Amino acid sequence: MTTDSTLARQRRATDRARACFLRACELDVAVRKPGNVSRASPGHGMHAEMFIASAQAAGAALFQPGARVGERIEAAVAATWAVAGCNTNLGILLLCAPLAAAVEQHPEATTAEALKLAIGEVLTDLDLGDAQAAFRAIARAQPGGLGTAPSQDVRDPPSVDLRAAMALAAPRDSIARQYRDGFAELFDAGAVALGTGFSLMSAPAGGSPDAGTVAAVQRLYLWLLSRFADSHIVRNHCDAVAHIVMSAAQAWQLRACRDDEVDADPDFAAWDASLKASRINPGTTADLTVAALLIASLCGPL
C-alpha cells in the first residue's frame, strides 16, 4: 500500500530529477561539444533553442507519475515533435526514461550503488508493451541513418520485451547497450570524467555555466567520444569515420585532463566546424553525455 509520505517522497524525487534533466539538456547546448549543436555553433540544420524547447516539452511526459518506460518514451517523442518538428532528442529520451522511472520507484536511491540497483529493477521489468511503445516512438522520430534490422526491426511489431530487443541491437548501438548492461558505462563515465564535487546545478537554470562546469562537461563528452565509436556516425558514414573521430577525441581528451583550457583553444572550435562541414555529428555521444550528467546529479558527487 502506497502511503501519503511515500507519494510525497516520490513527488519530491521526481521534481528534483526533472529539474536536473532540464539542466543537463541546457548544458548539452550551452557547452561546445565538437560536431554537436551548441549556442556557439549551430549545425546540421538545427540550433540550440530547438533542443531547449524539446527538453521543456518532453519533460512532463518523461516524468509522468506512474507511467511505464515505453509510455514515457512515446509521449515525450510526441511532445518533442509538436514543438520542434524533427528529431532533436530521441537518444536522450530513450536513456532518460528508465532513469525517470527508477527515481519515481526508488526515491531513496541517491547513491551510485542504489541507483544502479533501481535502474536494474526497471530494466528487468520492461515488457512487450514497453517495446511496442518504444518501437512506435523510434519509427516516428526517424533517427538519421536508421536502417533495417534482421530481427526486431522497429518498423515491425516486436515479439520480445524492450530490454531483449535492445540487447539484440547492443552490438551496433551504444544506447541499446546501456539497456543491456544496466547503464554501467555511464556510471563509469561520470565517476572518471566528472570526478568528485561536480554539481549539475552549480549555475541557475538558464544561466551560463562557469568555466569549471564547461570543462567538466567537455571532459565527459571527450571521454565518451574517445572510447566508443559513435553509433550515429557509424550509421550515417561508416565505422572508419567513427574511429577517425575517436582518435581525434583521444588527443583532445588527454589535453582536457591536463588542463581546462581546451574550450579557449581556436583549434577546438575549428575541429567543431570541420566536423559540421563534413556533416559528421557525434549525436549518440551527446545523448550519452546528457544521461551521464543526469546520473551524476541524481547520485550527488561521485
Instruction: Name the domain count of the chain.
Output: 1
Contact 249, 222 (CB under 8 A): yes
Give me the DSSP letters along 88-154.
Answer: SSHHHHHHHHHHHHHHHH-TT--SHHHHHHHHHHHHHT--HHHHHHHHHHHHHH--TT----SSS-T
- Rounded average pLDDT over 88-104: 97
Q: What is the pLDDT of residue 125?
A: 98
Q: Is 56 helix (H, G, I), strand (E, B) or coil?
A: helix
Radius of gyration of the chain (CA): 18
Grade residue 280 by pLDDT with cuts at 50, 70 and 90. Answer: very high
Grade residue 199 by pLDDT with cuts at 50, 70 and 90. Answer: low
The grid coordinates of residue 30 equal: 550551452
- Rounded average pLDDT over 151-160: 76
The parent domain of residue 13 ranges over 4-299
Least trusted range by pLDDT, from 9-13, 116-120, 174-178: 9-13
Is pLDDT of 155 > 80?
no
Is pLDDT of 142 > 50?
yes
- What is the C-alpha separation between 184 and 201, in angstroms, rounded? 23
Grade residue 1 by pLDDT with cuts at 50, 70 and 90. Answer: low
Least trusted range by pLDDT, from 21-25, 65-69, 142-146, 216-220: 142-146
Q: Is 46 helix (H, G, I), strand (E, B) or coil?
A: strand
User: Which long-range contacts does 58-67 make (Cβ < 8 Å, 24+ apart)?
Assistant: 58/89, 58/93, 59/18, 59/21, 59/22, 62/18, 62/21, 62/93, 62/96, 62/97, 62/100, 63/14, 63/17, 63/18, 63/21, 63/100, 63/104, 65/10, 65/11, 65/14, 65/104, 66/104, 67/101
Q: What is the CATH number of the domain that holds 25?
A: 1.10.4200.10
The single-letter code of the amino acid at 105 is: Q
The grid coordinates of residue 164 equal: 531483449
Separation of first and last alpha carbons in the chain: 33
- Rounded average pLDDT over 81-87: 91
- What is the C-alpha separation between 204 and 28, in angstroms, rounded? 15
Q: What is the pLDDT of residue 302?
A: 38
The grid coordinates of residue 209 equal: 555555466
Q: Count CB atoms within 10 A of the CB of residue 95.
A: 25
Contact 132, 155 (CB under 8 A): no
Q: What is the pLDDT of residue 210?
A: 85
Q: What is the pLDDT of residue 209?
A: 86
Give me the DSSP letters along 213-243.
Answer: HHHHHHHHHHHHHHHS--HHHHHHS-HHHHH
